[in-house]
Structure 1
Amino acid sequence: MALSAAQVKALKHKGERAFPVYTWWLYLSIIGVLTLNNIAWKLWAWRKRSTHQKQSTAQRGSTSASNLPAAILTASRIAALRWRLPVVPMNVLEILMTIAYILVLFCLEFTSTNGLQIALWADRCGHIVAIQFPLIVALSWKNSLISFMTGISYEKLNLFHRVCARVNLMLVYVHLFGTLYALGGAGGKQWFHDPYTYCGPVAGFSLTLLVMISTAPVRKRFYEFFVKAHMLLVTIIMISVTFHVTLAPPGFGFYVWPAFVFWAFDRLVRFGRWIVLNNLFQPRKSSGQIDLISDDTLLFTVNRHIPFGWYAGQHVFLSLPTLGRLQSHPFTIATIPSSDAKKDELVFIVRVREGLTKKIKQHIMEFGSCETPMFLDGPYGAPPDITPFSTCVFIAGGSGISYTLPRLEELLTQVIAKNACASRVVFVWVIRSRAHLKWVASRFSKIAASAPSDVTLVLNVHITGGSPQVEDLRDSPEADVEKDASVDDEDTKSKAELDALAEGLVITNGRPDVFKILEAEVNAAVGPVSVDVAGPASLLSDTRKALTGKFAGPGGVMKGTPTVQLNIEEFSM
């Protein structure tokens, strides 16, 4: 039955005023559920720590109904978080959430349109897109309130920042072509003379360019260009959208003003943190040391006071004004805070790639190790809490040790303080050359010496190139990574550290069998297991695949095998 003009008008009003607001009620509900889940997790972790007792090996082999909740949790983790499609760099949960977001927006767009009457959905689309801008900005925060409430790191939220932008780009074109078609007659000619009209296409074209340069190949290959272009295009988009929705009668500026508030809050917090961390008027106090420790690895060392410390696994954005101008790059802090020092030593292990790091390597090859001003912004990130787990496994490839090594050190510190449940800790590091061991030998020695007697600590290093024998390690000549040669005392110290290290470290030639390592640890565990992994994509993929095996699956859990939590450090620019 055809609707009357009054009914169509009421439907149009509802679609343009109420439907966009519905999306935010949905988002707030999801954030609320995730917040409750985060609170429940923290309460479980607290209870686990407070009631922790050394356990005997659990009875296994027979299926028990009491293990059903844990089996369901395991099955959901495997299906949602560990399975990935070959062509999409997202897990199943992320894909499903993306599909759900698309369905919600498009259903609201084309629902109650009186048989897809264009006058009812063309303008509505613009309203729905405009009210998404605060969400897009909120998901890009470094100092994210959403992250604080839900426990989800801002890096993961940033993935949905990109997803939301790309989905809304589709709606921008639906709005554009729908409006052009609806106003294509003589009545629409005057509309094309309104100044605010042109702001819409400008914003849409800028968003199109932004989405194109934000694709992973472009973003990673031309990161510095991406950062600068992103800043410029976002500025154009926000100004254009604001004029477009504010001047369009009767005015809907309230859709986008919250985005500016969110952006200003994040920038204000970042600026305040930046001022506190950096001595702007005393450059020498803001300097740090850069060394080349292998052919493809740089070591940055900064002494700086971090007022509230940091958690192992967090990162900072580091800028080198004399080498990289205004560029800022994220690097994981490879150390933990010191409890008795006025200034903490922050160490960054950096893989040499294209761009800034390649430029720094060339500079050091020509002039030797250098001291240069370093400005910090951070720390950021939300590393998962592993204190409730009885067995903790750390797997790193190359510079991924900058994430796993401080996590190991922090965990052992917490065990000593009776704030963690770990009774077995396994550390696996995969490196190309034994030269990497020289700069980390002292830390391994300290870890092995300070490990609590009631914790079984296993340290494994897998060297994929050259002989791994300890005698060769002790006697091998120092790599010429600095023009200023090390004095004999330093060589003696390194050899002594390697001698001590040999007693607590298992060095193996070749790549590790991740599946066998994890299978053995999970089958031997007496409580929940945590696995932290960082490194190249192949190592991350092998770990995911291993933890979808039967030994870590719901069938095993039903028979008494402990649950496994997988934590992957995969920073995506």
Structure 2
Amino acid sequence: MATDKSLRSARTDLYPVQAWYCIALFIFIIAIFQWISFFHSKFAASRRSSNDPERVSVQRPHRFSWRRVLVGLVNAYRIVSFRWTLQFGKTYTLNMAEVFVTVSYIVFLFVWTFINTTDLEGDALNVGYWCNRSGMLAASQFPLITALGTKNNIISLITRISYDKLNYVHRMISRVVFVLLLVHVGGEVVRHAPFQPYFVKPWLIWGLISVSALTILCVVSLRPIRAQAYELFFYVHFTMASTFLVGAYFHTQEFSDTFWIYPCFVIWGLDRLIRFIRLVVFNHSYFGFKSGSTMDATAEVLSDDFVRLRFHRPSHFHWTPGQTAYLIMPSVSRLPFEAHPFTIASFNSTLFDVPATPTSEKSAKTCVVESNIDPFWKELVFFINVREGFTARLRDAALKGDKVKVFVDGPYGPSPNLGSYDTSVLVAGGSGVSYTLPVLLDIIERVRDGETNCRRVVFIWSIRNVDHIHWIDQVLIRALRLAPPSLSISIHIHVTGAPASIGTLPRSYSAKDDAEDSPLEMQDRKAMEISSDSLFAIDSVKVVHERADLRVLLGNEVKAATGRMSVSVCGSQSMARSVRGALQFPVCSPLSVANGGPSVTLHVESFGYA
């Protein structure tokens, strides 16, 4: 019936627009909460008044306060949303916030697909209603998927959620849309079977090419494949995503519905333009400009599994602790402009320009006078975990002593704003110290400058080999000497490797141990010499040969802390799960907060494949 067809077409065009109104409203609500949180953290550090319910417990002993009940409820929300998780095998872990977004999006999209699909004759779920509508709803999500997959996107700007955090949503929406496209294809099969004549129509051929490309892309993007063959995923992703969008454009051109497709090319092109401008600005000497220093990097093999890459930073390249940069190394990569992200381990500051004043006579005798720490503030430094492909080729270049030409693009990602916290706990595994080390240095500098009320910092680092301590030992020594007396710093280094690989490291070693009885000094001099200029000689540093019991360590810190407490973790997914588990009920219960316990915020920077 003509009336029936008109109604179907009207709903097919209207529902995707309505769906976008709902998505825009959701993004707006998230943005409001994110900006409120941002301004609260920004200005909380400057508040000295005891009227602040999150700081009132600092001035008096723990006791119940009705003013802290709301803070306790906020902490309960954080626990349920971000620390309760669902684990699927050993690969997938989703927190409750991600589960909620995923389920809500699936329900939302499929309700919009199948609602009001009863035709004028009373037949429910009429295929004519939901077939084309499912295709249009799927197409309407393409710009959102494209935006979420770019490094410079308006959603990150609006919500203050970094592109890497939004990448989960990018993958989730892509997979839901893939299923919706399968519904669209199934509806076409039901409507037009037998459909042999349709294979001669270009719009159908382009549609099949598009869906086939998305199928391959979804399979290759599964986490186990990405983790084992990241470079394969990188190449297939670019090729199949381009094929998918081109196919979708020509498929929808037949029906004058390309207005959902061409914005994808605009979004992708704008992101690439911004990244190209960044490359020219920060690497202008490579592009024929006379001024500027060429960034030929030095690659050093620290161990079989790690490479340190460092090079002089452009004078106008600035970053904050915890940010990442994309590195392009044409002589190492298979493709000339293949970019790989790494966290910047160095500190963009003048902290080390300050003459170090020992905090005590004892530390003056046990710490070195001068340290070779220039790379951590004059250069860009990266600790790179060696896997296969690109990182393996980089290690080979380092073993040969080759200079590596580097193009830098960035910085990207947010920087943790810890200025409003009284206690900060930094947890890292292996190369995750690239994230926690500059954050530690930033806290020390801000305390020295009077920009934060932080009173205690706990630095926990898990490493496989005691040799890894040499990566940052001189920097830590220098930083500890610069730390003001008002800041309590505790450093825990946990060596998890087998004794055969690290010598016979004692179970617990500190400056109080007798060097003559230390088997580490006798059997593993290459790893670390116990002397007056050793990190081991500092009272606040503890090195143990055991895995970090994060539940005990974090539990003790929560019990001792007051005011606001931040916990930042950068490591494997198992480490992130352990930290989440340690900061749940009853350790961080609302009752504990109402009784004067700390209000705990968790920041997770997992470098595992998401």
**TM-score normalised by structure 1 residue count:** 0.90
**Which residue in the other structure is 1:336 paired with?**
347
Contact in 2 for aligned 1:64/1:558 (Cα 8 Å): yes
**Does the residue aligned with 2:458 lie in a helix, a strand or coil?**
strand
Q: CA deviation at 1:284?
A: 7.8
**Does the residue aligned with 1:241 lie in a helix, a strand or coil?**
helix
Contact in 2 for aligned 1:305/1:344 (Cα 8 Å): no
Q: How does 1:169-184 map to 2 (within 5 A)?
A: 169-184=178-193
The residue type equivalent to 1:211 in the other structure is C
**Which residue in the other structure is 1:101 paired with?**
105
| Distance in 2 (alpha carbons) for counterparts of 1:31 and 1:202 | 32
Gaps of at least 5 residues in structure 1 are 480-490
Task: Tell me the number of residue pairs that the alignment of Structure 1 and Structure 2 aligns.
Answer: 551
Find the partner of 1:245 among 229, 249, 252: 252
Q: CA deviation at 1:42?
A: 2.2
The residue type equivalent to 2:343 in the other structure is T
| Distance in 1 (alpha carbons) for counterparts of 2:134 and 2:225 | 29
Change (3 A) 1:15 1:497: farther
**Which residue in the other structure is 2:296 paired with?**
287
**Which residue in the other structure is 1:487 paired with?**
none
Find the partner of 1:443 among 461, 475, 479: 475
Q: CA deviation at 1:363?
A: 4.4
Contact in 1 for aligned 2:300/2:308 (Cα 8 Å): yes
Q: Which piece of structure 1 moves more, 69-78 or 494-503?
A: 494-503
| Distance in 2 (alpha carbons) for counterparts of 1:64 and 1:276 | 54
| Distance in 1 (alpha carbons) for counterparts of 2:430 and 2:227 | 19
Cα shift readout 1:3-35 (whole Å, capped 9, x = no counterpart): xx4652343133211100112111211121122
| Distance in 2 (alpha carbons) for counterparts of 1:10 and 1:65 | 60
Q: CA deviation at 1:450?
A: 1.0
Find the partner of 1:309 among 318, 330, 340: 318
Contact in 2 for aligned 1:60/1:561 (Cα 8 Å): no
Change (3 A) 1:370 1:501: farther
**Which residue in the other structure is 1:486 paired with?**
none
**Which residue in the other structure is 2:571 paired with?**
535
The residue type equivalent to 2:431 in the other structure is S
Matched, 1:350 2:384: yes
Change (3 A) 1:567 1:330: same
Find the partner of 1:383 among 382, 397, 415: 415
Change (3 A) 1:32 1:143: same
Q: CA deviation at 1:414?
A: 2.0
| Distance in 1 (alpha carbons) for counterparts of 2:65 and 2:454 | 25
| Distance in 2 (alpha carbons) for counterparts of 1:180 and 1:295 | 55
**Which residue in the other structure is 2:167 paired with?**
158
Q: Which piece of structure 1 moves more, 230-239 or 377-386?
A: 377-386
Q: CA deviation at 1:63?
A: 4.5
The residue type equivalent to 1:71 in the other structure is G
**Which residue in the other structure is 1:9 paired with?**
5
| Distance in 2 (alpha carbons) for counterparts of 1:474 and 1:421 | 39
| Distance in 1 (alpha carbons) for counterparts of 2:18 and 2:447 | 47
| Distance in 1 (alpha carbons) for counterparts of 2:425 and 2:325 | 25
| Distance in 1 (alpha carbons) for counterparts of 2:237 and 2:129 | 34
Contact in 2 for aligned 1:400/1:534 (Cα 8 Å): yes
Change (3 A) 1:415 1:567: same
Contact in 1 for aligned 2:143/2:264 (Cα 8 Å): yes
Q: Which piece of structure 1 moves more, 238-247 or 376-385?
A: 376-385
Q: CA deviation at 1:294?
A: 2.2
**Which residue in the other structure is 2:453 paired with?**
421
Contact in 1 for aligned 2:87/2:94 (Cα 8 Å): no
The residue type equivalent to 1:66 in the other structure is R
Contact in 2 for aligned 1:140/1:154 (Cα 8 Å): yes
Q: Which piece of structure 1 moves more, 510-519 or 224-233?
A: 510-519
Q: CA deviation at 1:60?
A: 6.3
**Which residue in the other structure is 2:405 paired with?**
373
The residue type equivalent to 1:76 in the other structure is Y
The residue type equivalent to 2:161 in the other structure is I
| Distance in 1 (alpha carbons) for counterparts of 2:249 and 2:42 | 46
Change (3 A) 1:501 1:275: farther
Change (3 A) 1:20 1:242: same
Contact in 2 for aligned 1:430/1:462 (Cα 8 Å): yes
Cα shift readout 1:312-333 (whole Å, capped 9, x = no counterpart): 1111122222122324321110
Q: How does 1:29-40 map to 2 (within 5 A)?
A: 29-40=25-36
| Distance in 2 (alpha carbons) for counterparts of 1:72 and 1:230 | 42
**Which residue in the other structure is 2:237 paired with?**
230
Q: How does 1:50-65 map to 2 (within 5 A)?
A: 50-52=46-48, 57=58, 63-65=64-66
| Distance in 1 (alpha carbons) for counterparts of 2:112 and 2:570 | 40
| Distance in 2 (alpha carbons) for counterparts of 1:507 and 1:134 | 50
**Which residue in the other structure is 2:603 paired with?**
567
| Distance in 2 (alpha carbons) for counterparts of 1:551 and 1:65 | 19
| Distance in 2 (alpha carbons) for counterparts of 1:563 and 1:284 | 46
Q: CA deviation at 1:558?
A: 3.0
Change (3 A) 1:231 1:520: same
**Which residue in the other structure is 1:265 paired with?**
270
Cα shift readout 1:380-421 (whole Å, capped 9, x = no counterpart): 112332211111001111111111111111122222233223
Contact in 2 for aligned 1:113/1:121 (Cα 8 Å): yes
Find the partner of 1:467 among 505, 512, 520: 505
The residue type equivalent to 2:483 in the other structure is A
Change (3 A) 1:499 1:179: closer
| Distance in 1 (alpha carbons) for counterparts of 2:296 and 2:398 | 16
| Distance in 1 (alpha carbons) for counterparts of 2:63 and 2:309 | 53
Change (3 A) 1:495 1:332: farther
**Does the residue aligned with 1:317 lie in a helix, a strand or coil?**
strand
Q: CA deviation at 1:454?
A: 1.6
**Which residue in the other structure is 1:482 paired with?**
none
Contact in 2 for aligned 1:58/1:526 (Cα 8 Å): no
| Distance in 2 (alpha carbons) for counterparts of 1:502 and 1:415 | 20
Q: CA deviation at 1:56?
A: 6.1
**Does the residue aligned with 1:349 lie in a helix, a strand or coil?**
strand
**Which residue in the other structure is 1:110 paired with?**
114
| Distance in 2 (alpha carbons) for counterparts of 1:9 and 1:497 | 83
Q: Which piece of structure 1 moves more, 294-303 or 283-292?
A: 283-292
| Distance in 2 (alpha carbons) for counterparts of 1:70 and 1:163 | 32
Matched, 1:144 2:148: no
**Which residue in the other structure is 1:392 paired with?**
424
**Which residue in the other structure is 1:18 paired with?**
14
Q: CA deviation at 1:308?
A: 5.1
**Does the residue aligned with 1:301 lie in a helix, a strand or coil?**
strand
The residue type equivalent to 1:537 in the other structure is Q
The residue type equivalent to 1:236 in the other structure is T
**Which residue in the other structure is 1:488 paired with?**
none
The residue type equivalent to 1:232 in the other structure is T
| Distance in 1 (alpha carbons) for counterparts of 2:550 and 2:238 | 41
The residue type equivalent to 1:557 in the other structure is V
Contact in 2 for aligned 1:155/1:381 (Cα 8 Å): yes
| Distance in 2 (alpha carbons) for counterparts of 1:175 and 1:539 | 41
Cα shift readout 1:174-213 (whole Å, capped 9, x = no counterpart): 111201221236xx66654332221111100110000000
Contact in 2 for aligned 1:390/1:421 (Cα 8 Å): yes
**Which residue in the other structure is 1:74 paired with?**
75
Find the partner of 2:435 among 377, 389, 403: 403
The residue type equivalent to 1:110 in the other structure is F
Contact in 1 for aligned 2:432/2:571 (Cα 8 Å): yes
**Which residue in the other structure is 2:37 paired with?**
41
Matched, 1:202 2:213: no
Contact in 2 for aligned 1:547/1:553 (Cα 8 Å): no
Q: CA RMSD in A?
A: 2.6
